[in-house]
């Protein structure tokens, strides 16, 4: 094949699962309990529902641009072409950095989860083992990446569907305890909204982090076999599936578990205290914690897999557009930007720092940086779409000629920008009001 080119070997089902795989993970399985504990069942639903709406608006913006010009490294390409070359340069490196350091956080999370079965073992050791596996997957071919991501994501999706079915049966009294709970947990004092607007804002930020990754489908557009058909299909199905999964799953937890239950907060992210674990146990499944932990390990490995793919393709595009060293644009005979994968691996190996500084400290710093970088990338999508549509219309072109049209322009990208700015600048508000903010956390977030 031609040197420095990628292969269009990703099918529609791959694209759909790639987008789902990036957004269903620990944010749903572990953080959802904390969200309900803070804001009550109604407050958590409002926050996650609002973020789902923002994600949908962003995905329609991305869909319009990526079907018109399906290019790998999509975000910085659109930012560069429709806004400014300097803006595109900054967004490209920001997006690469975002997903490269996300690899480290996901691998650390996988190490934490393995301690459920092997207490006392080294987190860094398990992270290193998974690191090698993920890198090998990404060094073979994009088809192998697509298939591995498809099946790992399918495990997560199937698990959530089973949880929803089991939860609905439990709500209506078909469970181990055999009585319907109805709306009893929504009538507890201060429910369904606990703490009002301020706590909803706090959960809004958690939800924003949980949904990051849905936009990966835009990066994969350059390797899709038929992007004009595959991308709109993936975007439509991804939004509805994510919304149904998150909203239904949160609703079920809110119905079955009182938001006042202390274990819901779960500050140590103990899988035995995951709301998913508790619901399965209440239904009589004695090995619930083991099942949930298996799915969680699959979830973080799926996310890490997507991280390597996304960041290496972004780096490949930066090199192709003379914004990174040319060597990073080289691909092997299977179309893999091998140097991009290896350079990404260097930054992704930041989890090794945990052995010197401490697991928790490094993990928290990584999460803060990832959140902000992700919001900046979302912001670039909305801004680029505003500029793209303006230029498209001024050139006298018709919207009928577009393969996919965002129905909510210009309100969609404008609302997205406002919501993203709230998430970005609200990341440290709660800590400042509660006097728990530190200079370290502040600079980790905003530096």
| 5 three-state secondary structure | coil
Query: For the chain, what percent of residues have pLDDT higher than 70?
Result: 76
pLDDT of 187: 73
User: What local confidence, expressed as pLDDT, does residue 380 receive?
Assistant: 92
Per-residue pLDDT, averaged over 403-410, amounts to: 86
Strand partners, 224: 10
User: What does the alpha-carbon distance between residue 253 and residue 270 come to, in Å, rounded to a whole number?
Assistant: 17
Query: What is each CA distance from 228 to 157, 224, 237, 399, in whole angstroms?
Result: 25, 9, 15, 15
Average pLDDT over residues 419-447: 61
Cβ–Cβ under 8 Å, residues 243 and 83: no
Judge whether residue 62 has pLDDT over 80: yes
Domain architecture of the chain: domains with CATH: 12-446 (1.20.1740.10)
If we measure between CA atoms, which residue out of 389, 285, 309, 326 comes closest to residue 4?
326
- Which of 56-70, 161-175, 179-193, 388-402 has the highest mean predicted lDDT (pLDDT)? 388-402
| Under 8 Å between Cβ of 14 and 149 | yes
Whether pLDDT at 406 is above 60: yes
The mean of the pLDDT values for the chain is: 77
On whether the CB atoms of residues 268 and 2 are closer than 8 A, the answer is no
Indicate whether 209 pLDDT > 70. yes
Q: Which of 430, 38, 42 minimizes the C-alpha distance to 195? A: 38
271, 289 Cβ separation under 8 angstroms: yes
Instruction: Give the pLDDT band (50/70/90) at residue 1.
Output: very low
Instruction: For the full predicted model, state whether its pTM sits above 0.85.
Output: no
- Residue 428 is predicted with a pLDDT of 56
Are the C-beta atoms of 218 and 22 separated by less than 8 Å?
no
pLDDT above 60 (res 9): no
Q: Average of pLDDT values for 403-429?
A: 84
Q: Choose from 256-260, 265-269, 318-322 the range with maximum mean pLDDT.
A: 318-322
**Ramachandran angles phi, psi of 122, nearest 5°:** -80, 130
3-state DSSP assignment of residue 429: helix
pLDDT at 369 > cutoff 70: yes
Which position has the higher pLDDT, 332 or 17? Answer: 332
From the list 21, 4, 6, the residue with the least C-alpha distance to 241 is 21
Residue percentage of the chain with pLDDT more than 90: 7
Q: Is 351 within 8 Å of 107 (Cβ atoms)?
A: yes
The average pLDDT across 309-337 equals: 84
User: Which helix (H) or strand (E) segment is 296 a member of?
Assistant: helix 288-320
Whole-number pLDDT of residue 45 = 87
| 10: β partners | 224
Structure tokens at 188: 């507890």
pLDDT of residue 354: 59
pLDDT tens profile 74-116:
567 888 889 999 998 999 898 888 888 888 878 887 888 888 8
């Amino acid at each position: 094949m031609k040197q420095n080119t990628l292969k269009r070997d990703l099918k529609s089902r791959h694209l759909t699962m790639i987008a789902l795989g990036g957004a269903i993970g620990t944010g749903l399985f572990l953080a959802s309990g904390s969200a309900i504990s803070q804001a009550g069942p109604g407050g958590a639903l409002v926050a996650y529902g609002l973020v789902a709406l923002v994600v949908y608006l962003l995905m329609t913006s991305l869909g319009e641009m990526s079907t018109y010009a399906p290019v790998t490294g999509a975000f910085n390409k659109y930012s560069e072409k429709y806004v400014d070359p300097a803006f595109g340069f900054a967004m490209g490196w920001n997006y690469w950095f975002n997903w490269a350091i996300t690899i480290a956080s996901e691998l650390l999370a996988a190490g934490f989860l393995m301690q459920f079965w092997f207490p006392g073992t080294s987190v860094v050791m398990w992270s290193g083992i998974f690191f090698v596996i993920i890198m090998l997957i990404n060094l073979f071919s994009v088809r192998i990446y697509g298939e591995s991501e498809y099946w790992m994501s399918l495990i997560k999706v199937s698990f959530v569907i089973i949880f929803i079915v089991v939860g609905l049966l439990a709500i209506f009294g078909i469970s181990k305890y055999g009585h319907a709970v109805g709306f009893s947990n929504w009538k507890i004092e201060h429910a369904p909204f606990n703490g009002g607007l301020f706590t909803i804002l706090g959960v809004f930020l958690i939800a924003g982090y949980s949904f990051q990754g849905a936009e990966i489908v835009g990066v994969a557009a350059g390797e899709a076999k038929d992007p004009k058909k595959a991308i709109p299909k993936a975007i439509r199905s991804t939004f509805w599936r994510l919304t149904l999964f998150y909203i239904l799953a949160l609703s079920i937890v809110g119905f079955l578990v009182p938001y006042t239950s202390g274990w819901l907060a779960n500050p140590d992210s103990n899988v035995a205290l995951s709301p998913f674990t508790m619901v399965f146990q209440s239904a009589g499944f004695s090995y619930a914690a083991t099942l949930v932990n298996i799915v969680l390990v699959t979830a973080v490995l799926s996310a890490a897999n997507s991280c390597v793919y996304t960041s290496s393709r972004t780096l490949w595009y930066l090199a192709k557009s003379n914004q990174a060293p040319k060597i990073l644009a080289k691909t092997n005979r299977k179309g893999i930007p091998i140097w991009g994968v290896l350079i990404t691996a260097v930054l992704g190996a930041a989890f090794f720092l945990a052995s010197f500084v401490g697991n928790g400290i490094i993990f928290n710093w990584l999460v803060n940086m990832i959140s902000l970088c992700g919001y900046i990338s979302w912001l670039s999508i909305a801004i680029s779409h505003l500029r793209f549509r303006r230029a498209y219309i001024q050139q006298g072109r018709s919207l009928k000629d577009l393969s996919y049209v965002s129905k909510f322009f210009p309100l969609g990208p404008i609302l997205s920008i406002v919501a993203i700015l709230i998430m970005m600048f609200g990341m440290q508000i709660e800590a400042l009001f509660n006097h728990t903010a530190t200079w370290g956390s502040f600079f980790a977030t905003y530096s």
